């Protein structure tokens, strides 16, 4: 099922331990996620460099969101501090 493939990919992008296990034995991990034989074969052929690049990209996006969230809080705090009504 496509949903199973998407669930596996999402986990591979964010879970470093799972990613390492997948790189060692992609078919086994795909089976554990309930993929069909054809889906297992397809994800096993995924280029390692593509998986790693996507993982780094998602990590940078998560870090950026965390920083901007903290920055937004700081902006609200300074606005309240300097703009008394």
Q: What's the pLDDT tens digit per position in 45-73?
A: 999 999 999 999 988 887 776 666 666 66
How many domains does one find in the chain?
1
Range of the domain at 45: 2-82
Using a pLDDT cut of 70, give the percent of the chain over it: 79
What is the distance between the alpha carbons of residues 53 and 47, in angstroms, rounded to a whole number?
A: 10
What is the distance between the alpha carbons of residues 20 and 73, in angstroms, rounded to a whole number?
A: 36
Sequence-distant (6+) residues with CB within 8 A of 69 are: none
What is the distance between the alpha carbons of residues 85 and 14, in angstroms, rounded to a whole number?
A: 44
Average pLDDT on 22-30 reads: 96
What is the distance between the alpha carbons of residues 57 and 52, in angstroms, rounded to a whole number?
A: 9
Q: What is the pTM of this model?
A: 0.69
């Amino acid at each position: 099922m496509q949903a199973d493939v998407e669930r596996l990919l999402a986990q591979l992008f964010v879970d470093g331990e799972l990613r390492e296990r997948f790189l060692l034995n992609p078919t086994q991990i795909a089976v554990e996620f309930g993929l069909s034989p054809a889906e297992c074969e397809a994800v096993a052929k995924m280029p390692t460099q593509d998986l790693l690049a996507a993982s780094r990209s998602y990590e940078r996006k998560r870090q950026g969101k965390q920083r901007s969230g903290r920055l937004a809080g700081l902006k609200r705090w300074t606005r309240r501090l300097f703009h008394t009504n």
